[in-house]
């Protein structure tokens, strides 16, 4: 279980550092400019092994379910994730809600075109 927590922690850290879109090899570099925590936490081959095998749904029925639900890959665990968010985070009295628009050229079934937002 600790290894899975370390794996998720590395995924979150990569996102926080803005490195979620770069090649995995770059995260495990030994350059002094890179963060040594990735290499210290687990080997790159172990990380790749976990990421290639970790699934949250039944792959056999995924294509059939994907026809009606584009969120099918994580649909079964999503309620648990939402419940944990409510347990782990309680907003204070001074909360600001804002939106941020970022350029995106990838494929995503949830992408929306908003002509008034440039």
pLDDT per residue over 44-91, tens digit each?
Answer: 999 999 988 888 888 888 888 888 888 888 888 889 988 988 888 888
Better-scored residue on pLDDT, 20 or 17: 17
Round to whole Å and give the CA distance between 12 and 4: 12
This model's pTM is above 0.85: no
Which tens digit of pLDDT belongs to each residue from 93-111? 888 777 666 666 667 766 6
Tell me: do 1 and 49 sit in the same domain.
yes
> What's the domain range around 79?
57-87
Is the pLDDT assigned to residue 25 strictly greater than 90? Answer: no
Q: Residue 28's CB: how many other CB atoms inside 10 A?
A: 19
Question: Is residue 80 a part of any domain in this protein?
Answer: yes
> What pLDDT sits at residue 104?
63
Total count of domains within the chain: 2
The angle at the Cα of 55, spanning 52 to 59, to the nearest 5 degrees, equals 105
In a domain, 4, yes or no: yes
- Helix (H) or strand (E) run with residue 5 in it: helix 2-16
């Amino acid at each position: 279980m600790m290894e899975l927590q370390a794996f998720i922690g590395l995924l979150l850290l990569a996102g926080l550092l803005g490195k979620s879109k770069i090649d995995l090899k770059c995260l495990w570099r030994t350059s002094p400019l890179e963060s040594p925590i990735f290499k210290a936490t687990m080997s790159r081959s172990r990380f790749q092994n976990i990421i290639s095998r970790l699934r949250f749904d039944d792959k056999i029925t995924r294509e059939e379910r994907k026809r009606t639900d584009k969120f099918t890959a994580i649909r079964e665990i999503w309620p648990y994730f939402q419940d944990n968010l409510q347990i782990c985070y309680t907003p204070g009295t001074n909360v600001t809600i804002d939106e941020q628009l970022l350029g995106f050229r990838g494929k995503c079934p949830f992408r929306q075109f908003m002509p008034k937002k440039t």
